[in-house]
Structure 1
């Protein structure tokens, strides 16, 4: 190191002897020198000239810089905390009890206004539609009256012409027809067909209006008005309207109960292929409606027309009517107006079961368990009984419990057996009451409880006696 550099460093050290830390300006390096208190000041250093290239040493305190950095950091943290507190305070001021209640009230009022407005619009639309249907109906009635009047006022037919004249007239008509056919026979539409289409269109509008009155859609529910428009539509041979008019007469909605009128409407609708009406006709035959009874010479009295009932249900079942499929399956199963046929019974009960009919699901489970109309399959029997049991069928619940108990078609499980038998017993199934008592007595699927077992045995005994008394 040269003498000038040493002198410069010594001079700097002398100027700030009290501070033991030095910072080289323009660099990040620090120089720290520990000097004893008795060290003499190098006064002789001033006699040497300081070169221009010598670095200038500026005294600085490291602790002071650290404090400044810490202070800045603390201030930023405090500011951040204060901002957070301010946000929380503002949010808290928004979510006061009074503000929340006010908001809820405003929302409820808006919802109410929306509903009122929606109902008003629906009523307005309904009224316009009702007026349109009334105008169309009145126009149709006027046309019918005009046609009847024209028919009544038509002049009597002229006397028959002589044979020669008749031949000439026929030849002229034939020639005229040939010309018309040659020109535009295919392009012309039949006015009678147009009239029929127009009637059907009016009938559909009348049916829609009747359904709106019946269900209270867009207006207040009104059975009298619903029946009126079902009847108007039925006059125009609308099958759906005929069926609904029959239903209302059958149940006495909007009018006095009249099974005879109901059956007439059902029959008219069924003849047009309405599946619901076909089922209803079969139902009337099965329930001895006067119009359906037939005279039996051997018995010398009127009896049910099982043949008509079976035919009506079959037509309805073929169109996918669930109840008709169930009834038809039962007819084949017990041989009602048809020979017993387990294959057909299985076929129709399976169709109804797939549509969710709980009774058909129960019967299908029995048929799989007994191998009737199909191969015996306990797994499938378990599957269908479980479906029926989940829908609340008490017999299937009891059978499902027994299948869990014995492990038929499933893994043996006393706890589940107990659960399903208990569900069936709650619905008043006598056998389930007995088996529930048995499970309490032996502690199967539950803890032993002789008192509960005795109670369920008594209930079973009471239900059985009541059943025998009723029979």
Structure 2
């Protein structure tokens, strides 16, 4: 009898809400309706409620709801919990992030699989960087067409001295919009630490990275124009790319300008400034953002 009464009460609440008769029915932070919805909706409702609580600044409730969803097998809740722990710098946080990413990856979430590989590669938590351990999850995510995973896979393959495979994956990453992949390829062909030096290829890859908005590639592109490596010397063009790179306000870009400016005439500076302004106006989304 008590069970029937409970069902009847729930039904009355739901009908009343639909009719707009009960105050607070739309308030997902409290009230019996939220409990009914959570019971009816399962882990997805807990996941959405967790996100809402986090958005309202209620970290404790948000994590509790996400954990409830995760315990019921909700992969996105596992991923979000991993991201929350990964945002903190402590070793314990890193370990917890890895644990959640492992669970989400096991549930088939590609973003978590990529983040798990990155955590292994960078030595998150109490782990040392481990390219070999990072390889399997990054391969899974890269083969699932995750561009960032392709970038990290390429870098891991460099660490494992599998250079031809690295070039393949870095190229795919660059073509998929990962601008830093072009910079890494440029470094491979310029620094002589992985493959035979090829100045022309290095210049070409730095150029792709620079045009795509990578700050490091822009600095190298500037240097190549200044010194005439792989191209004709052009001090104004060198200044252009140094100015663009300096939008990041990084110590490296500041140092590059300090080194470059005494070597330029007033005409070089004026021409370079004009070219930089034109490029930034034409490519507003690719202008480097200030470093944090």
TM-score bin (small chain): 0.5 to 0.7
TM-score normalized with structure 2 length: 0.64
Aligned equivalents of 1:258, 1:445: Cα separation in 2: 50
Check the 8 A contact 1:349/1:364 in 2, yes or no: yes
Aligned pair partner of 1:242 in 60, 74, 78: 78
Map of 1:445 onto structure 2: 268
Distance 1:309 1:131, change over 3 A: farther
Q: Does 1:233 align with 2:76?
A: no
CA apart distance, 1:233:
0.6
Q: How many residues align?
A: 236
1:269 to 101, 104, 110: 104
Aligned to 2:237: 416
Q: Which has the larger radius of gyration?
A: 1
Quick one: structure 1 residues 128 and 424, their matched pair in 2 at CA, closer, same or farther if it must change by over 3 Å?
closer
CA-CA distance at 1:271 after TM superposition: 0.8
Residue 116 of structure 2: aligned partner: 281
Shift of 1:401: 2.0
Structure 2: 5+ residue stretches without partners: 1-23, 271-292
Aligned CA distance change for structure 1 residues 331 and 415 (closer, same or farther; 3 Å): same
Q: What residue number does 2:220 align with?
A: 399
Matches within 5 A, 1:55-454: 125=26, 127=28, 134-138=35-39, 202-214=42-54, 216=55, 220-251=56-87, 258-285=93-120, 286-287=122-123, 289-290=125-126, 305-335=130-160, 340-367=161-188, 377=201, 380-381=204-205, 383-388=207-212, 390-391=213-214, 393=215, 395-405=216-226, 413-424=234-245, 427-429=250-252, 430=255, 432-439=257-264, 445-446=268-269
Q: Which has the higher contact order (CA 8 A, sep 6+)?
A: 2
SS at match of 1:445: helix
Contact map agreement 2:180 2:209 (CA 8 A) in 1: no
**Structure 1 pair 263/427, CA: closer, same or farther in 2 (3 Å)?**
closer
Matched residue of 2:139: which SS? helix
Inter-partner Cα distance in structure 2 for 1:374 and 1:409: 12
Question: Over residues 278-314 of structure 1, what are the superposed CA-to-partner deviations in whole Å (9 max), with x where a residue is unaligned?
Answer: 2333344342534xx5xxxxxxxxx665432222222
CA distance in 2, matches of 1:248, 1:427: 27
Distance in 2 between residues matched to 1:385 and 1:263, nearest whole Å: 31
Measure, in 2, the Cα distance between the counterparts of 1:373 and 1:342. 11
Query: TM-score with structure 1 length normalisation?
Result: 0.42
Q: Secondary structure at the match of 2:42?
A: helix
* Greater share of residues in helix: 2
Give the SS at the match of 1:247. Answer: helix
Provide structure 1 residue ranges, at least 5 long, that are not aligned to the other structure: 1-122, 140-200, 294-302, 448-471
How many Å apart are 1:326 and its aligned residue? 2.0
1:381: Cα distance to partner? 2.7
